[in-house]
Amino acid sequence: MSENKKTDVQLEEVRLEIPEEDIWTYKIDGLAAPKIGVTPKHYNLKKVIFVLVIVVAVALSCFFSVLALMKDTFEYEQVDGGYKFTRFSNTGYIKELEIDYVLDVKYELGNSDPNKNFTIVKDESKPIVEVGSYVLNCDEKVEKITIGAGVKKIDPKAFYSCWALQEVRVDENNPYYCDVDGVLYNKDKTVLIFRPCDHDTYLAKKYKLDEWDSDGASKWRKEIEPDDPRYAQYEKDVMTFVVPSSVKTIGEMAFNYANMKNVYLPEGLEKIETLAFFKIPPLKNVYTYKGENVTDSHFTGEDVLGEVYLSLPEGLKYIGSDAFSYNREMEYLYIPESVEYIGHHAFWDTVFKEDGELKGVSQICVASASEEEFESKVQLGENWKPKYDWLLFKKNVDVLYGQQRQAK
C-alpha cells in the first residue's frame, strides 16, 4: 500500500505469525531488518570512521564559532580618504578611546595586571574619517572618547548604551564636530548629537560632588539624595542641563538613558528627533528659555537665560517618535502652536496610576483652539498620547485644547 494512496491512521487489521525464536530477528517488508545483539559488518572500521567524523565536526565547529565570537578589539573598513571605525569590543579594561587613527592593542609581556599590561598604539598612516553605527554597543567600561581632527562623519547611533561613558571630546581642529564640556555637537552647534549616558558622573567629579561605593571588585558612584544638604547644589551642577541657544535640532537618542532632572531648551529649537529624551527616569522639568548667546551647558541660574517658561519651546516643529517616552517624573506638557509633527508613542508611559491617583503627564495642554484644528495642522503618529491603566485596559490622558501656557 503506497503512502500516496493510503493515509497514516487508517487502521489495518494486521496479524503476523511470528515464531517465538524469531521475535528478535523478524523482518517486516519494506523496513530494515532488526539487529539486536548482532555485531555489524566492518564493526571496527565503522567505529573509527564514526569517531573521526565526530572529532572533525566538533573541532571545526569550535574553531569557527570561536573565530566568529572572538572579536578584534578594533575593527575598521577602508573608505574614501581613510578608514571607517565599525566596531569596538572592549578587552574589559579599556577606559579611554581616541578615535583619530587606526588603533591596536599591544600587551606588555610578563605584566599580570590586566588594568595596566597593555598600551593602545596608533597607526598614523591610517586616519579614521568615519564612525559607523553602534560601534560601541552596551559597553560598560569606556568612560572617555576623544574624536580626532580628521573625523568627518559620526553616526548618531555610534555610541549606543555606553553605560560608563562620561565625556566625548573633539579635537578643536575638527571642521565638522565640536564638544561643549564633553557633549557632542556639530561644528556650528546647531545639532546636539550626543550627551553620554554617564555624563552626570563627569559633572559630579568636576563639581566635587562625587561619592563612591565599592564591593572590592568594582566601585560605583552614589547619588546625593534630596534630604542631603548638598542636594540643591547637586541638582544645579549635575542634574540640570542647558541646551545652548544655537541648537536647532536635538539628535536621535541624544539624551537617552541620561541621569538629569531639569533640561532647559532654547526657544529657537525646531526639532527633537526620535528617542531624543528616551527613558530618563529622573527627568521632571522641561523648560524653555528665550535668552541668546547661551553657550555653556552648565546651569548657573535662570537670570542668564533670559525669560524662562515651562515645557516645550514656541517654534518647535518636530517631535520624533518616542522622544520623551518612559519619563514618568515629567508632569506638565504643553504643545505649542508651532508643532507640525508628533511621532508615534512620543510621550508613551509618561503617566501611571499610584494609589488610585494619576501621576506624571496626566493631561496634555495644547495651544491649538480645537481638536479639529490641531489634527488638521499636526501630523500625529499613533499613540502619541500617553495612556494609563483603566480597569483592565488602557485609556488616553485628556488633551485640553486652546490652552494658555501655565506660568512658571
Partner 1 sequence: MSKLLGKAKWLFTEVKTHWNTPAEGKYVPYKEYKDVVLSVGSNYAGSKVLEYIGFASWCYLIMYHYKLPYLTFSVIGILNMPLNYLSALMWWLVCDNLGFLQKKTEKKFYFVYALMMLFGISTIVFDFSKMFDQTGTFIRILNSFEGMNATACFKTFGTHFLYTGWVGARNIFWRKKLLPKFGRYKYSLYCDVVPKCVMVILIGWLPVYNIPDVATRVWVGNLLFATYNVFGFANNLETCTKTISPNMQERILVRSYPVKLSHFFNTLSSLAISIAIGFLKDEWADINLFRFVIPGTFIFFAALTMIFAGRVKERIPQPPVEKKVQIKFWDGMFGVLRNKYLLIKKLVELIDALGNGMLPFATVLYLYTFRLSGLPYSLLVMLVSFAGTPPDLLSPYFLKRFSYKQIMIFYQLTRAAGNAAIAAAMWFCGDNVNLCGTICVIVLFLMEMTKTVPTTAGHDMDARIGDYQMYLSGERLENFSSVMGWFTDPIKNFVGLIIPLMLLGYGFNSNWEILFYDASRANIIIIPLLFDVVGFVLMVIPYLFWDYDSEKQNKVIEVLKRRAEVTEKQAQEEGEKVSGGYVG
Touching partner 1, residues 54-93 (CB under 8 A)? 54, 57-58, 60-62, 64-66, 68-73, 89, 91-93
Nearer to partner 1, 141 or 169 (CB): 141
Q: Does 47 bind partner 1 (CB under 8 A)?
A: yes
Q: Three-state secondary structure along 324-375? A: CCCCCCCCCCEECCCCCEECCCCCCCCEEEECCEEEECCEEEECCCCHHHHH
Contact between 351 and 328 under an 8 Å Cβ cutoff? The reply is yes
- Select the residue interacting with partner 1 from 101, 134, 207, 332 (CB under 8 A): 134
- Select the residue interacting with partner 1 from 23, 48, 49, 369 (CB under 8 A): 23
At closest approach, how far in Å is the CB of 252 from partner 1? 8
Instruction: Return the SS3 of 51.
Output: helix
Instruction: Return the SS3 of 127.
Output: strand
| Residue matched to cell numbers 578608514 | 83
| Residue matched to cell numbers 545652548 | 244
At closest approach, how far in Å is the CB of 366 from partner 1? 22
At closest approach, how far in Å is the CB of 13 from partner 1? 8
Subset of 214-233 contacting partner 1 (CB under 8 A):
215, 217-220
At closest approach, how far in Å is the CB of 91 from partner 1? 5
Q: How far apart are CA 266 and CA 288, in angstroms?
A: 6
Contact between 141 and 114 under an 8 Å Cβ cutoff? The reply is no
Q: Does 212 bind partner 1 (CB under 8 A)?
A: no
| Residue matched to cell numbers 522641561 | 286
First to last CA, the chain: 87
Interface pattern 232-271 for partner 1 (x via CB under 8 A): --------------------xx------------------
Considering CB under 8 A, how many residues would be counted as binding partner 1?
Answer: 97
Instruction: Return the SS3 of 35.
Output: coil
Subset of 138-177 contacting partner 1 (CB under 8 A):
138, 140, 157, 160-161
Contact between 140 and 166 under an 8 Å Cβ cutoff? The reply is no
Subset of 332-351 contacting partner 1 (CB under 8 A):
344-345, 348-349
Nearer to partner 1, 37 or 301 (CB): 37
Q: What is the DSSP letter of 382?
A: T
